């Protein structure tokens, strides 16, 4: 069954405990005169109702009817699940002990924690005054209702500083407490012009073991108001810096009268504020907690704005741009980079920081100047010391990918690419390639904001692997090894054409070297023949002597080789025909062998030399 909300008329389910549109608590409301705490607290009237519970004005009958606030808590648990209810009760008691220990002038005193009729209540001090929502435009039945008066900028800055001091107390590193619901309605301005941070019903001690995790059903730590709550709070992961975000959003709302609930996480009127104030709030409104300022850092950025100007506290940049806060330093230093580099290394920044009593930054600046010879890198380090959440330079490559198309492995190509720092600051990039066939010059690149730097990429195609698709990467990283940008290089090699080219190259190299080897071998044979024949040309009788000796040796061998032809001195008379054959063989065989073997050796050696020369030439064509 579907009902209508009695306040806004939005359709609601019958089992709903509050309206999803206006937040009206639909069930279990306390009527005036109702008693809590065994009759000690009497409800006077309802102050507000919302998704986090209801707030009542009550009287403490045990303290002469002292007015107090009774906050009815809306816990996320299943009433039909005893274990879930027990966990909610334990959680309520744990947080009650934490809040009861708080003691600060800007925080209402906590009187008691109650559990009555299945509901949890927190009773706290009643703070008189108007909340900061009274100084902003609100929606009425007939349209927007402007505030009776706007809060002066200086006054709002002063109140923001006061809340920062409250948060510094709450965010004690030993037991940090996160409020989780800072907004204009929860900051009350007392008649004495002091502010009090109220409505601690959603406050939680920061404990990772108790935080809701994304993707689970534990919503006990998911609180806050849209527009003021930072992104991590929506994930059930609040931390102290979450309160800083909400406070900065509150200050933005009061200062500009632009309700962040209409456009969460965007601040279109921030640039209408004075530069130093806008920069201080901008840093506190960063979406990433690690880049966001702490309560102390926000206070330190706002205090010079709220105090009277003094000449010594003003630092002047070129163009008569002046700052009195450290928070505005990084922005103007980025705009006047060259001048700021000199201000740091000539000690001008240090003298000004000493005047405004930021000795910690003076020490850091002196250490950077002494250690860092690269003045651009030194200035970048100093600005990150001033603002640890300062964005790192963002590098963009043009082109982001290089396609060389079809290439031959004998060519050499050179292409050019540019790197541009599109954000802020400076970074020294170390350039490396993933492949040996990619050479990049220069190996280091100085990347200033808005100034393109160019690199030459030389492609040594002869070193390309033998495959069709080639790819490599040009990587640029900072000195700490963090990747800045990568350029993907790819090319295509035709394997058929490459094999033909390799074969032609091998043949082209094999032919000349083979002919050279053949000529060298033929020359060696000619030289050897000339040397061997020289004695015989001078003494022709040596030919006959050599022939006689060789023939005699041949005849003896033939005699042993013939079974039917015994030696002459054996006394056996062989057949005359066999002796004739032996004698003829001994005489004719040596010259015949010489005529056959010598040309065969020459031809074989020349052929072997030709083949060897071809193989060596082909091999050299591959390895050169």
3-state secondary structure (DSSP) of residue 320: coil
Sign of CA dihedral 332, 336, 339, 342: positive
- What does the pLDDT read at residue 565? 47
| H, E, C per residue of 95-107 | HHHHHHCCCCCCC
Give CA–CA dist 398/455, Å, rounded. 10
- For 479, other C-beta atoms within 10 Å of its C-beta total 12
- The pLDDT of residue 623 is 64
Give the pLDDT of residue 143: 83
Asked if residue 321 lies in contact with residue 264, where contact means CB atoms within 8 angstroms, the answer is: no
Looking at the DSSP assignment, which residues form a beta bridge with residue 441?
Answer: 456
- Res 585 pLDDT > 90: no
Residue 6 has pLDDT above 60, yes or no: no
User: In the chain, count of helices (H) and strands (E)?
Assistant: 14, 26
Percentage, residues of the chain above pLDDT 90: 38
Secondary structure string (H, E, C) spanning 265-313: CCCCCHHHCCHHHHHHHHHHCCCCHHHCCCHHHHHHHHHHHHCCCCHHH
Domains and CATH numbers, the chain: 26-126 (3.30.200.20), 395-493 (2.60.40.10), 497-623 (no CATH)
What pLDDT digit, counting tens, does each position of 185-218 carry? Answer: 999 998 877 899 988 767 776 654 444 433 333 4
Instruction: Write down the pLDDT at residue 53.
Output: 67
The predicted pLDDT at position 311 comes to 47
- Name the pLDDT band for 534 (thresholds 50, 70, 90): confident
Tokens of 532: 């061997």
pLDDT at 216: 37
Tell me: pLDDT of 463 over 70. Answer: no
Residues 6+ apart with CB under 8 A from 228: 181, 182, 183, 245, 246, 249, 250, 260, 261
Q: Quick one: how far is CA 559 from the chain centroid?
A: 97
Kindly report which listed range (222-226, 241-245, 518-522) carries the lowest average pLDDT score. Answer: 222-226
The pLDDT of residue 412: 66
Q: Residue 180: which of 219, 146, 140 has the closest Cα?
A: 219
| pLDDT of amino acid 533 | 76
**Is residue 578 helix, strand or coil?**
helix
Span of 10-24, 107-121, 578-592 with lowest mean pLDDT: 10-24
Written as six digits, the tokens of 288 are 């990433």
Give buried/exposed letters for 568-589 (b at 16+ CB in 10 A, else e).
Answer: eeeeeebeeeebeebeebbeeb
Enter the tokens of residue 49.
Answer: 């109702």
Pairing of strands 130-131, 187-189: antiparallel
Q: Which segment of 293-302, 356-365, 460-469, 545-554 scores lowest on mean pLDDT?
A: 460-469
Which residue has better confidence, 513 or 219? 513
Amino acid 210: pLDDT:
44
Bin 213: left if φ > 0, else alpha if -120 < ψ < 50, else beta.
beta
Q: In a 3-state reduction of DSSP, which class is residue 54? A: strand
Residues 6+ apart with CB under 8 A from 461: 407, 408, 409, 410, 411, 412, 413, 437, 491
Which pLDDT does position 50 carry in this prediction?
A: 59
**Contact of 444 with 429, CB cutoff 8 Å:** yes
**How far is Cα 359 from Cα 355, in angstroms, rounded to an integer?**
9
Sign of the alpha-carbon torsion through 377, 380, 385, 386: positive
424-445: buried (b, 16+ CB within 10 Å) or exposed (e) per residue? bbbbbbebebebebbebeeeeb
Q: What pLDDT, on a 0 to 100 scale, did the predictor assign at position 136?
A: 94
Residue located via tokens 């975000």: 245
Cut 0.75: pTM above it: no
pLDDT (tens digit per residue) in 414-430: 889 999 999 999 999 99
* CA 612 distance to own-chain centroid: 58
Ranges 75-89, 257-271, 535-549, most confident: 257-271
Per-residue model confidence (pLDDT) at position 611: 82
Which residues in 230-247 are b (16+ Cβ under 10 Å) and which e?
A: bebbeebbbbbbbbbbbb
H or E element in which residue 128 lies:
none
Q: Please report where in the chains the tokens 């806004």 appear, as a residue.
A: 8
């Amino acid at each position: 069954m579907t009902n209508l909300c009695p306040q806004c008329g939005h359709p609601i389910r019958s089992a709903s405990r509050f309206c999803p549109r206006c937040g009206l608590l639909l069930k279990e409301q306390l009527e005036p005169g109702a008693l809590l705490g065994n009759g000690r607290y009497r409800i006077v009237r309802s102050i507000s109702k919302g998704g986090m519970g209801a707030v009542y004005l009550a009287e403490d009958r045990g303290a002469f009817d002292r007015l107090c606030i009774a906050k009815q808590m809306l816990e996320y648990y299943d009433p039909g699940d005893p274990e879930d209810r027990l966990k909610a009760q334990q959680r309520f008691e744990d947080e009650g002990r934490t809040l009861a220990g708080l003691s600060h002038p800007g925080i209402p005193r906590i009187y008691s924690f109650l559990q009555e009729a299945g509901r949890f209540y927190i009773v706290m001090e009643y703070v008189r005054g108007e909340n900061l929502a009274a100084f902003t435009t609100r929606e009425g039945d007939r349209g927007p209702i402007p505030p009776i008066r706007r809060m002066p900028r200086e006054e709002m800055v002063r109140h923001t500083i006061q809340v920062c001091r409250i948060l510094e107390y709450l965010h004690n590193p030993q037991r940090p407490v996160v409020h989780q619901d800072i907004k204009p309605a929860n900051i009350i301005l007392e008649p004495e012009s002091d502010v009090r941070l109220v409505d601690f019903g959603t406050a939680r001690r920061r404990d990772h073991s108790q935080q809701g995790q994304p993707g689970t059903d534990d919503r006990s730590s998911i609180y806050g108001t849209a527009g003021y709550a930072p992104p991590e709070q929506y994930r059930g992961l609040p931390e102290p810096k979450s309160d800083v975000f909400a406070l900065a959003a509150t200050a933005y709302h009061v200062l500009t009268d632009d309700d962040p609930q209409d456009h969460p996480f965007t601040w279109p009127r921030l640039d209408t504020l004075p530069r130093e104030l806008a920069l201080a709030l901008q840093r506190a409104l960063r979406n990433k907690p690690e880049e966001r300022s702490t309560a102390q850092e926000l206070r330190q950025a706002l205090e010079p704005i709220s105090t009277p100007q003094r000449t010594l506290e003003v630092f002047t940049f070129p163009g008569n741009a002046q700052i009195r806060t450290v928070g505005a330093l990084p922005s103007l230093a980025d705009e006047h980079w060259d001048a700021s580099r000199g201000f740091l290394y000539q000690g001008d920044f240090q003298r000004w920081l000493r005047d405004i009593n930021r000795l910690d930054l003076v020490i850091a600046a002196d250490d950077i100047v002494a250690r860092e010879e690269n003045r651009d890198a030194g200035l970048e380090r100093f600005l990150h010391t001033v603002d640890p959440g300062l964005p790192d330079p963002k590098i963009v490559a043009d082109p982001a990918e290089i396609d060389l198309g079809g290439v031959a492995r004998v060519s050499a190509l050179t292409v050019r690419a540019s790197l541009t720092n599109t954000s802020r600051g400076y970074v020294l990039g170390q350039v490396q390639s993933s492949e040996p066939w990619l050479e990049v010059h220069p190996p280091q690149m100085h990347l200033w904001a808005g100034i393109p730097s160019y690199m030459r990429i030389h492609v040594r195609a002869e070193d390309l692997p033998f495959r069709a698709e080639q790819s490599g990467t040009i990587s640029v990283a900072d000195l700490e090894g963090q990747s800045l940008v990568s350029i993907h290089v790819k090319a295509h090699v035709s394997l058929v054409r490459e094999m033909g080219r390799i074969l032609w190259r091998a043949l082209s190299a094999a032919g000349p070297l083979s002919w050279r080897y053949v000529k060298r071998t033929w020359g060696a044979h000619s030289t050897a023949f000339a040397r061997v024949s020289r004695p015989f040309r001078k003494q022709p009788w040596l030919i006959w002597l050599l022939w006689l000796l060789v023939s005699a040796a041949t005849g003896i061998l033939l005699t042993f080789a013939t079974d039917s032809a015994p030696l002459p001195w054996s006394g056996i008379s062989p057949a005359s025909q066999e002796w004739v054959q032996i004698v003829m063989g001994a005489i004719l065989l040596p010259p015949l062998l010489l005529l056959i073997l010598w040309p065969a050796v020459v031809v074989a050696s020349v052929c072997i030399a030709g083949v060897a020369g071809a193989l060596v030439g082909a091999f050299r064509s591959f390895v050169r």
